Amino acid sequence: MSIIILGIESSCDDTSAAVVKDGVLLSNVMAGQKVHEEYGGVVPELASRAHQQNIVPVVDAAIRRAGIDKKDIDAIAFTRGPGLLGSLFVGVFFSKGFALARDVRLVEVNHLHGHMLAHFIREPGSDRPLPRFPFLNLTVSGGHTQIVLVKDYFDFQVLGETIDDAAGEAFDKAAKIMGLGYPGGPVIDHLAQQGNPGAFHFPMPRIRGLNFSFSGLKTSFLYLVRDELQKDPRFIEKNKADLCASFQKVIIDFLLAKLRRAVRETGIKEVAIGGGVAANSELRRRLQELADKGGWIAHIPERRFTTDNAAMIATIGYYKYLKGEFAGQDVVPLARWKV
C-alpha cells in the first residue's frame, strides 16, 4: 500500500506545501512574501500574517496538483523549527488541525534537517544520483551556516558552524547597505555577474577549525562603503557590480576553504550543499570546479530545492513515517532547535 505525506513549511517568509507518495514528489507549491522587500529584511509580524493568508490556498493547490484526494493522506509533516515563532505557529497549528480533522499522524521535522537532506527529494522519472552516506553537507541559508557530517538519514554530526551571522545574512545586509532590497542574495548574485571580483578587497574572516564568522565581513563592507560615500556620494551607484562581485567572492572563498578543510580532515570526498545561499551561481560553479579538480563528488540541488520548500519537509516526513516517529497533539513550535 502507498504512503502519502503532506508536507508543510512556514519557518520564515515562504509558505509551502508538498505531497510525497512513497518517497516520490508529486507536487511542491510555494508562496513567497513580497511585503518584506521594502524593509530590507523579514518583518516577523507581517510574515506570520501572510502565512495565515497563504496556507489554505497553498495546501489546496499542492493536493490538487498531486492529483490525490485529501482522504488519501497518511500523515502531515511540518517544520517545527528553528525559525520565526509567529511563522512556525501558522504551519504547526494548521498541521495539528488537519491531523485532528482527518485523523492522520503528525510528523515533526527540523528545518535544517530538511536543507541537509534536500538531495533526497526524488522527482518522478529522475535518475539523478543520490548522495551516499557518509557525505559532507554545507548548509548555507539566511539563518544558518554549518558543515555537517551526514552518516545516515538520522545520524549526523555538526563539524563546524557560524559563531555569529549566517552567510545569507551577510548577503542580505550588504544588499541593504547598497539599498538593493530583500532578499539580497539573488540581487548580488545577478549584479556580480557583470562585476570585477578583484575590484575591492575584503579580508577573509579568521576563525579556527571548521567554524564560520560573518559579522566582521559585514562591518568591513559597511565601513568601506561609508568612507567612500564621503568622498563620492555616487560611489554605490558607480561601483555596484564590482562591490557585489568582490563581496560575493570573499564569502565563497571562505565557505569553500572550510569545505576543503573538512574534506581533508575527514577524508570524505562526497560533498553536498543546501540552503538558500546554495542557489548562488558562483558558489555552484566554483564547487563543481573544486570537485572536478579534487576528484570529489558534488551534489548541487536544483535551485527551487535550495531555498525554503515543503518538498524537503515531506521527504523527511516520509522517512520518519517509515521509522514510526510521530508527534503528538501537544507539539509546539521551537524558535531554536539544533539538529
Site residues (vs ligand KG4, CB under 6 A)? 12, 141-143, 168, 171-172, 183-186, 189, 275-277, 279-280, 307-308
Q: Which stretch binds Zn ion (CB under 5 A): 126-134, 148-156, 297-305, 308-316?
A: 308-316
Interface residue with Zn ion, options 50, 308, 334, 339 (CB under 5 A): 308
168 binds, among ligand KG4, Zn ion, none (CB under 5 to 8 A by kind): ligand KG4
Q: Is 146 in the site for Zn ion (CB under 5 A)?
A: no
Which of the listed partners (ligand KG4, Zn ion, none) does 315 bind, with a CB threshold of 5 to 8 Å by partner kind? none
Nearest residue (CB) to Zn ion, 74 versus 308: 308
C-alpha 241/C-alpha 94 separation (Å) is: 43
- Least separation in angstroms between residue 1's CB and ligand KG4 is 34
306 near Zn ion, judged by CB under 5 A? no
Q: Closer CB to Zn ion, residue 184 or residue 195?
A: 184
Of 202 and 321, CB closest to ligand KG4? 202
Write down the H helix ranges in the chain: 44-66, 85-102, 111-116, 167-177, 184-192, 215-231, 235-266, 281-294, 310-323
Q: What does 184 interact with, of Zn ion, ligand KG4, none (CB < 5 to 8 A by kind)?
A: ligand KG4
Rounded-to-integer distance, Cα 166 and Cα 170, Å? 7
Identify which of residues 142 and 195 has a Cβ nearer to Zn ion in the complex.
Answer: 142
Q: Hey, what's the cell of 273?
A: 550543499
Q: Which of 137, 141, 246, 248 binds Zn ion (CB under 5 A)?
A: 141
SS3 state at 5: strand
**12 vs 243, beta carbon nearer Zn ion:** 12
For residue 234 the three cell numbers come to 555616487
Cβ contacts of 48 within 8 Å, gap of 6 or more:
84, 86, 87, 89, 90
267: left (phi over 0), alpha (psi -120 to 50) or beta: left
3-class SS of residue 269: coil
Closest approach, Cβ 308 to Zn ion, in A, equals 4
8 A C-beta contact, residue 258 and residue 271? no
Residue 60 has φ and ψ, to the nearest 5°, of: -60, -45
153, 319 contact by CB (below 8 A): yes
Smallest gap from residue 25 Cβ to ligand KG4 (A): 18
Residue nearer to ligand KG4 on the CB measure, 15 or 280: 280
Q: Which amino acid is at 94?
A: F
Q: How far is the CB of 79 from Zn ion (least distance, A)?
A: 9
